[in-house]
């Protein structure tokens, strides 16, 4: 079993994609981007632009053809996913259906689930923090969609890694619930100082929290900057065009 790397404390890490090339089918992608430590970055863009690919590259699920991926100024390009200071929450399938809430969270402490007292109390704290106290023994099918994502977030909390990646994590939730989850993320980010990178189809999510926006198109970053500026009427025209087609969800 792989030992947990010693990321001592909470707090965020800087992320840099340095001339990263990656081919997805016919599309040649090239990413250059830098995310400040303890900031919130939102990635938007049309389907197939490479949004999830960026997260997969940071998490180590994909390997670049060339270029470097730096997290906390360390080269992570060839590091195994489990040794990267990163947690990720997906849209579905975050939880193992046959394990209860506490065990699903516990996997973030010990992937073999041999948990000691300290682990148990950390798990309990995390479950309380995401507002699921009393539901430790529930199986995933007895939870609502939002509650399941809360469990995944609790697991990210006990893993205590400086980067949290959200891959359309709230896409299947209703608008009110989505905002609730964003507020939870914002609150946890305030507590821990994690760096958060989220991919979303809903640009308004970028405004809910003070975030830096990255707009992806055809496999590269077409525009970036504070979300408030980019998403305003004075934003770049290609972004306005994209938003025009998204009007309904705004």
Smallest gap, in angstroms, from Cβ of residue 248 to another protein? 27
Least Cα distance to 31 among 12, 16, 41, 42 occurs for 16
One character per residue 146-185, x = contact with another protein (rule: CB under 8 A): -------------x--------------------------
Smallest gap, in angstroms, from Cβ of residue 167 to another protein? 9
Q: By CB under 8 A, tell whether 24 contacts another protein.
A: no
Beta carbon nearer to another protein, 18 or 62? 62
Q: Which stretch binds another protein (CB under 8 A): 95-103, 186-194, 195-203, 239-247?
A: 95-103
- Contact between 39 and 193 under an 8 Å Cβ cutoff? The reply is no
Beta carbon nearer to another protein, 62 or 217? 62
**Going by C-beta distance under 8 Å and a sequence separation of 6 or more, which residues neighbour residue 130?**
150, 151, 153, 154, 157, 184, 188
Smallest gap, in angstroms, from Cβ of residue 194 to another protein? 15
Q: By CB under 8 A, tell whether 15 contacts another protein.
A: no
**How many Cα atoms within 13 Å fall on the side-chain side of residue 169?**
32
Q: CA–CA separation, 51 vs 237, rounded Å?
A: 20
One character per residue 63-82, x = contact with another protein (rule: CB under 8 A): -----------------xxx
| Residue from the set 38, 53, 94, 200 that interacts with another protein by CB under 8 A | 94
Q: Which stretch binds another protein (CB under 8 A): 8-16, 108-116, 183-191, 194-202?
A: 108-116
| Residue found under tokens 């609502």 | 144
> To 5 degrees, how large is the angle CA 182–CA 136–CA 118?
95
Q: Which stretch binds another protein (CB under 8 A): 18-26, 85-93, 197-205, 236-244?
A: 85-93
């Amino acid at each position: 079993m792989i030992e947990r790397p010693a990321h001592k404390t909470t707090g965020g890490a800087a992320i840099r994609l340095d001339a990263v090339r990656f081919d997805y089918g016919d599309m040649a992608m090239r990413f250059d981007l830098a995310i400040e430590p303890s900031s919130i970055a939102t990635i938007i863009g049309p389907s197939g632009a490479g949004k999830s690919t960026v997260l997969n590259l940071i998490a180590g699920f994909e390997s670049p053809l060339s270029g470097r991926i730096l997290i906390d100024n360390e080269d992570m390009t060839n590091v195994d996913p489990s040794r990267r200071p990163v947690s990720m929450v997906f849209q579905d399938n975050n939880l193992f259906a046959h394990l209860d809430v506490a065990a699903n969270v516990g996997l973030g402490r010990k992937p073999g689930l041999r948990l000691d007292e300290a682990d148990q109390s950390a798990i309990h704290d995390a479950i309380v923090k995401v507002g699921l106290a009393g539901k430790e023994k529930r199986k995933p099918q007895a939870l609502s969609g939002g509650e399941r994502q809360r469990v995944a977030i609790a697991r990210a909390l006990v893993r205590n890694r400086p980067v949290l990646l959200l891959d359309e994590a709230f896409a299947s939730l209703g608008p009110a619930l989505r905002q609730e989850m964003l507020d939870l993320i914002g609150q946890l980010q305030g507590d821990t100082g994690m760096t958060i990178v989220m991919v979303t189809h809903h640009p308004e999510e970028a405004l809910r929290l003070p975030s830096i926006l990255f707009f992806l198109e055809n496999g590269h970053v077409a525009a970036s900057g504070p979300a408030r500026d980019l998403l305003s009427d004075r934003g770049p025209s290609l972004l306005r065009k994209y938003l025009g087609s998204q009007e309904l969800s705004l």
